[in-house]
Amino acid sequence: MKASHKLFLILLVSYLSILNTVRAQEIIPSTLEITDRSFAIITDRSTFEKCQKEILSYRDVIESTQLPALIVYHDWKNPEQLKKELQKLYETSKIEGVIFIGDIPVPMVLKAQHLTNVSTAIPSDRFYDDFELTFDFLEQSKTNPQLFFYNLGLSSPNRIKSTIYSARLKPLTATDKKNDKYQQISTYLNKAIQARAPKNSIDQVMSYVAYQPLSTWSSQSYFLEEQFPQISKASTQFQNYKDDKQRLLQDETLNQLRRHDLDIAFIRQYPLPDVSTIHPNVTLSIFADNPIGNFSEAQYNAGQFTFSKGAALAALANTVQPALHRHPTYLIGSLAMGLNIGQWAKLNNTLESHLFGDPTFTFAISSTDTLSRFVHEKNNKRLVEALSKAKSPEGQSFLLNQLSLNNYDGLPKLITQYYDNSNYTTVRYTCIHLADQQEEETRSALFAKGIKDVDESIRLEVIHAIARIGDPIFIPALIDAYIENQHAEGILSAINMALYVFNKDLIKNIAEQRFMTANSFIDQVKEKEKFYETQFTGIYLEIDKNIFDTKPDNQRQGITDLRTIHYHPSVTRYLEFVRNSKMPIDLRIAMLESLSCFRDSYRKQEIIAACKELMVDTRHSKRLRDEARRTLNNVN
């Protein structure tokens, strides 16, 4: 071969290599100078080519708010490839959030039972937006190439703390040629662009809680009225619905969703019908208890909501039935103080929660406090100074939460002070919520106050936390709460579930004393027996009976139930079960998986010690040793 031909081939290969690198991903930079933050629009190559005009216009309207926006498009091969690009953009362009438009790989997460309510694979974009979480690849789906299955990593953090916010714009499977996926995206982006024209403040809110107890409904009303004080100025500004035996308000709720002036709809326990018949116009909808956001499905309901013919802009929904966690509207009042929807959603992220639609939409500020400048603030001195000047309850709550995220040393003193002195329910709730993450002394002191708080949401927060912790020192407080809350159906139900995590005989010994001194009942003995009848029945009393049965199916059911009811008294027996080489390996691993849900247990140090022992004991299989390492990390 002639030297000239060799040179030509070398140059050709180099050119093709460069061309291939360029096509690895195309980045259209922001038209604004990036100083402290930016936003990324991530899409696939085909979607960008088909919807280029609308995507560029969407970029322009975001930048009109002085938020620099980049566009990145590529034929993404897998989630790891995209995550690396996001991490690079975070380092080089300071992205604070991202929207995924079109055909973006869907991570399906397993081995995360301690973070959610189910053990099945969960579609979750925490894969992308929480940079500290790690994942181990399993396989790509053969039936749906967009789905990629992962185990949560052996050494992954055991809490969700998203680095950036994220949202999905994933079109539905087209039912006709006129509304293919590209048309859906184009139509939505035009809707999002038009939504920016009016300066819309939050002055119209709707809440629907289906069949919840009256006291629970009232508590949620107080929350929303404190979070959005402007909605209390007229009777039409806050529509608060609750079904009862005499009247169902589902139809009226659907009518509310059609309103063009409705800013936020908060919906609990509501089976959504065919959205194509509703044409919702509400700006932001929050589906707190409904698993309608499973975007691994072709026709997921949250997508039907945002892609509907109405003006609905964004929806927060869960991909699976959510676990108990913080109040569904926690810090939502920050949306009236300058935060965009994505920034607020990030503060509430769980493995299963997802935002669908435009995360950069910002309502007009309608509060005396402006918070957007504190979203990325790491200087605790500035936050404390701002807290001392904050007038609104949501402003105070947001700044306390930011100090918690920054691990501020003085937080225990602050939350105790604010709990003791605040007349605002939402501020006291925030203090109790943050106390759950503090040292035992601060936590116990605030829990003792919170379980007697006038607000039901605060009492519920304490009761749920006590069940996770399981320390018997809390039993007297739970029984006292039972005696004092006969009017509150939701509280009684929560206490019933919480007491399942304690020893039955210990409960009975303490109850004998508490009921005898109770002044709430005419007949203490009768009420005590009624308490026993309720408390000492039910399937969760059978947990240990099932676990130590001889039938594998019963054992498996009991071990699974431990993920719901953390029965702390038998931790020693459970660890013996795991160590027992005569037990089937799958059941031993299942037990370790359930014990990973005991991360808040007062006995977690015993689980940690046992896992460390199991990890290095080569008499056990590698599968068991690996699972012990995973459980150690989840609990520690």
- Nearest in space to 171 (alpha carbons), one of 297, 359, 307: 307
Tokens of 613: 């022992």
User: Cα-atom radius of gyration of the chain, to the nearest Å?
Assistant: 26
Per-residue pLDDT at 636 exceeds 80: yes
Confidence of residue 10 (pLDDT cuts 50, 70, 90): very low
Segment of 151-160, 203-212, 232-241 carrying the highest mean pLDDT = 151-160
**168 and 355 in contact (C-beta within 8 Å)?**
yes
Local structure of 570: helix, strand or coil: helix
Rounded to whole angstroms, the Cα distance separating 570 from 503 reads 9
- Nearest in space to 362 (alpha carbons), one of 386, 391, 334: 334
pLDDT of residue 24: 64
Q: What is the pTM of this model?
A: 0.92
pLDDT of residue 289: 82
- Nearest in space to 133 (alpha carbons), one of 147, 117, 114, 105: 114
Confidence of residue 175 (pLDDT cuts 50, 70, 90): low
Per-residue pLDDT at 1 exceeds 60: no
pLDDT tens for residues 571-624?
999 999 999 999 999 999 999 999 999 999 999 999 999 999 999 999 999 999
The total of other beta-carbon atoms located within 10 Å of residue 296's CB is 18
Rounded to whole angstroms, the Cα distance separating 446 from 426 reads 15
pLDDT tens for residues 337-390?
999 999 999 999 999 999 999 999 999 998 888 999 999 999 999 999 999 999
Per-residue pLDDT at 190 exceeds 90: yes
Per-residue pLDDT at 311 exceeds 50: yes
The arrangement of strands across the sheet holding 106-110 comes to 122-123, 106-110, 147-152, 135-140
Local structure of 199: helix, strand or coil: coil
Per-residue pLDDT at 165 exceeds 80: yes
Tokens of 323: 């676990």
Rounded to whole angstroms, the Cα distance separating 92 from 372 reads 22
Report the Cα–Cα distance between both ends of the chain, in Å, rounded.
65
pLDDT of residue 112: 92
DSSP string, 356-410: EE-TT--PBP-SS---GGGTT---HHHHHHHHHH--SHHHHHHHHHHHHHTT-TT
How far apart, in Å, are the Cα atoms of 169 and each of 144, 203, 262, 404, 515? 18, 27, 22, 32, 56
Helices vs. strands in the chain: H and E counts, helices first: 26, 15
The arrangement of strands across the sheet holding 69-73 comes to 26-28, 69-73, 38-43, 95-101, 165-169, 353-357, 314-318, 284-287, 264-267, 205-208, 238-241
Q: Which residues contact 602 (CB under 8 A, 6 or more apart)?
A: 469, 470, 471, 568
How far apart, in Å, are the Cα atoms of 508 and each of 494, 512, 527? 18, 6, 13
**96 and 65 in contact (C-beta within 8 Å)?**
no
How far apart, in Å, are the Cα atoms of 293 and each of 288, 305, 380, 611? 11, 10, 36, 35
Report, as an integer, the average pLDDT of 515-524.
Answer: 88
The residue written with tokens 């590209």 in the block is 182
Helix axes 380-389, 393-405, angle to 10 degrees: 170
State the chain's mean pLDDT as an integer.
91
pLDDT tens for residues 221-272?
889 999 999 887 776 788 888 877 667 777 888 889 999 999 999 988 766 7
Secondary-structure breakdown of the chain: helix, strand, coil percentages, each rounded to the nearest 5 = 50, 10, 40
Rounded to whole angstroms, the Cα distance separating 601 from 597 reads 9
Amino acid code (one letter) for 591: M
Q: Which residues contact 52 (CB under 8 A, 6 or more apart)?
A: none
pLDDT of residue 541: 87
CA 312 from chain center: how many Å? 22
Q: Dihedral of CA 249/286/64/27: which sign?
A: negative
Instruction: Give the residue ranges of DSSP H helices in 521-603.
Output: 524-535, 543-547, 552-561, 571-579, 585-595
Phi, psi angle pair for 123, to nearest 5°: -65, 125
**DSSP 8-state symbol, 174:** P
Per-residue pLDDT at 124 exceeds 50: yes
**512 and 481 in contact (C-beta within 8 Å)?**
no
Q: Which range (207-221, 280-294, 303-317, 533-547) has the least confidence?
A: 207-221
Local structure of 354: helix, strand or coil: strand
Continuous segment of H or E residues that includes residue 18: helix 3-22
pLDDT of residue 274: 75
Q: Dihedral of CA 372/127/332/114: which sign?
A: negative
Q: Which residues contact 537 (CB under 8 A, 6 or more apart)?
A: none
Instruction: Tell me the CB-side half-sphere exposure of residue 522, using CA atoms within 13 A.
Output: 0
Local structure of 427: helix, strand or coil: helix
Q: Which range (29-33, 136-140, 268-272, 287-291) has the least confidence?
A: 268-272
pLDDT tens for residues 399-428?
999 999 999 999 999 999 999 999 999 999
Confidence of residue 629 (pLDDT cuts 50, 70, 90): very high
- Nearest in space to 332 (alpha carbons), one of 284, 387, 270, 388: 284
Amino acid code (one letter) for 143: T
The total of other beta-carbon atoms located within 10 Å of residue 415's CB is 24
**41 and 54 in contact (C-beta within 8 Å)?**
no
Report percent pLDDT > 90 for the chain.
Answer: 76
Report, as an integer, the average pLDDT of 37-60.
Answer: 98
Helix axes 440-450, 425-435, angle to 10 degrees: 140
pLDDT tens for residues 89-122?
999 999 999 999 999 999 999 999 889 878 899 9
**363 and 201 in contact (C-beta within 8 Å)?**
yes
pLDDT of residue 426: 96
Confidence of residue 23 (pLDDT cuts 50, 70, 90): low
Report percent pLDDT > 70 for the chain.
Answer: 94
pLDDT of residue 581: 93
Report, as an integer, the average pLDDT of 557-573.
Answer: 95
pLDDT of residue 5: 54
pLDDT of residue 57: 98
Tokens of 397: 């709550």
Rounded to whole angstroms, the Cα distance separating 118 from 113 reads 6
Continuous segment of H or E residues that includes residue 166: strand 165-169
pLDDT tens for residues 432-482?
999 998 988 999 999 999 999 999 999 999 999 999 999 999 999 999 999
pLDDT of residue 2: 53
Confidence of residue 509 (pLDDT cuts 50, 70, 90): very high
Confidence of residue 325 (pLDDT cuts 50, 70, 90): low
